[in-house]
Chains A and B, each alone.
Chain A
Amino acid sequence: MNTTALIYLLTAAAVFGIGVHGLLQARQVLRQLLAINLMGGAIFLLLITLGGGAVGPPDPVPQAMVLTGIVIAVSATAFALALLLRLQDATGTSELDPNDGA
């Protein structure tokens, strides 16, 4: 295993875990969305590193997947933010009650 690959794989794992933690413990929806975006970034990093990016031009299939993934992530984030505005508008808060509806 090449050192660059090692570094980025561990980075990806760490960022993914950080994202999960952030999603689970954050109170504001906005922060949870940031955490979700971090997780997405980590997965993309993993895909490209595993695709051989550390040694040369990486596998083009994961690259295309990541590009698609980035656009999906921005779409989902944009919609989530619109919904968040509506949430604030309807409930006066941009947080979700963890005990509600469970």
Chain B
Amino acid sequence: MIEIAIDLIIAMGVVGLALQTILGASVFRAILMFIVFGLLMAMAWARLHAPDLALAEAAIGAGITGALLLVTWRRLQAMDGRTPRVGIAARAPWLSIASGIFAAALIVALGWVSLSLPAEPAAAGELAWQRLPEVGVSNPVTGVLLAFRAYDTLMEMGVLLAAWLGARAVASELRPGALPGPAHAEVPLVGALLSLVVPISLLVAVYLLQAGGSAPGGAFQGGAVLAAGGVLLCLSGRLEAAERSSITERIGLVLGLAVFSCIGLVMLFMGEPMLAMPGVWAIYLVETALLLSIALTLVLLFAAAPGLRRAP
């Protein structure tokens, strides 16, 4: 009973926060609501027996996305008024009503349809449990990500790389000086705090990476935690944007994609199927490469810069 109550509270909170995100008076407030929404979602994942997702949601969904949204909002604020505004026609009032009706209909339809489904693992999921021992890890999510559906993971690294390449391409078109510099405030004790937080994030990342085989965790969560450390370094001004990416950064960006593909191709030419993993060591090797690439890409995306360097 108490569990139902918790579920209800989480559900109401999630819906309420979603509404607040949409209707929030200011964009800033909407972003904050969205971040809290992400945190509450992490709790929902925990309730739904999906701790891997809870970690990922907290680190990526709420953490990194939230940081990205906030920093962009602040940059937009700083840029606003520098160029003449283009007149924008107001949206017709009926549009809002129409979209509300449409959304309500969608909610009803989606609710009705999804309630008619069995809500239990599907055929492919059962197979994943059965064949997990062949992979050599005991966390089924890691098994799916790095063995059964490794191809998805690999393509997803492509998506991440494309996002960075795209961000770099459009950022390089910005007029010189358009981006405000990192306006960080030197608060007392921040230095001391950082000297604690960053090693801890590294530690947690490594832990999550190795735990991923048998317990919740893995490259994505670890990468996000490591990225969070990097974001803090940027925020505090320890790292600052560089004009160009260094060669190390470039290698790091493509490391996950390259290592993953190369192992696959090597196996292919040894007569195995493409993306067959030669052993658990290969899974960890790939995961390490993925983690580094994810962390680096996310930090660079946050900094909206081609590269980073130590602040003098």
The answer to whether B21 and A13 have CB atoms under 8 Å apart is no
In the complex where A9-B115, A20-B106, A68-B145 touch, is A79 in contact with B48 (Cβ < 8 A)?
A: no
For residue A85, which residue of chain B has the nearest CB? B75
Name the A residues within 8 Å of B82 (CB-CB): 92
A4 to B280, CA, bound (A): 36
In the complex, B268 has a CB within 8 A of chain A: no
Most buried by A among B119, B179, B218: B119
- Expressed in whole angstroms, the minimum distance between the Cβ of A79 and any Cβ of chain B is 4
Name the A residues within 8 Å of B162 (CB-CB): 75, 79
From DSSP, what is the main secondary structure of chain B's interface residues?
helix
In the complex, A57 has a CB within 8 A of chain B: yes
A20 to B109, CA, bound (A): 14
A34 to B69, CA, bound (A): 9
The answer to whether A1 and B72 have CB atoms under 8 Å apart is no
In the complex where A15-B14, A38-B18, A41-B37 touch, is A5 in contact with B119 (Cβ < 8 A)?
A: yes
The residues of B with any CB-CB pair to A shorter than 8 Å are 3-4, 7-8, 11, 14-15, 18-19, 21-22, 27, 30-31, 34, 37-38, 41, 44-45, 47-50, 52-53, 56-57, 60-61, 64-65, 68-69, 72-73, 75-76, 79-80, 82-86, 88-89, 91, 95-96, 99-100, 102-104, 106-108, 110-111, 114-115, 117, 119-122, 124-125, 128-129, 140-141, 143-145, 148-149, 152-153, 156, 159-160, 162-164, 166-167, 170-171, 173-175, 178-179, 218, 220, 294, 298, 301-302, 304
- Expressed in whole angstroms, the minimum distance between the Cβ of B97 and any Cβ of chain A is 9
The answer to whether B171 and A59 have CB atoms under 8 Å apart is no
- Expressed in whole angstroms, the minimum distance between the Cβ of A97 and any Cβ of chain B is 5
A96 to B18, CA, bound (A): 23
- Expressed in whole angstroms, the minimum distance between the Cβ of B27 and any Cβ of chain A is 5
The contact of A60 among B69, B110, B128, by CB within 8 Å, is B128
The answer to whether B41 and A17 have CB atoms under 8 Å apart is no
Q: Which of A69-102 contact B (CB under 8 A)?
A: 70-79, 81-86, 88-99
In the complex where A11-B14, A24-B99, A48-B53 touch, is A79 in contact with B167 (Cβ < 8 A)?
A: yes
In the complex where A25-B99, A52-B121, A64-B152 touch, is A58 in contact with B50 (Cβ < 8 A)?
A: yes
In the complex where A34-B30, A97-B86 touch, is A73 in contact with B65 (Cβ < 8 A)?
A: yes
- Expressed in whole angstroms, the minimum distance between the Cβ of A96 and any Cβ of chain B is 8
Q: Which of A5-47 contact B (CB under 8 A)?
A: 5-22, 24-28, 30-31, 33-35, 37-38, 41, 44-46
15 more contacts with CB within 8 A, not counting A15-B14, A61-B144, are A1-B115, A7-B8, A9-B119, A14-B111, A21-B103, A22-B22, A28-B27, A37-B61, A45-B44, A51-B122, A52-B121, A67-B53, A67-B141, A73-B65, A74-B61
Name the A residues within 8 Å of B22 (CB-CB): 18-19, 21-22, 26, 31, 34-35, 38
In the A-B complex, the 3 residue pairs with the closest CB atoms: A59-B125, A53-B48, A17-B107
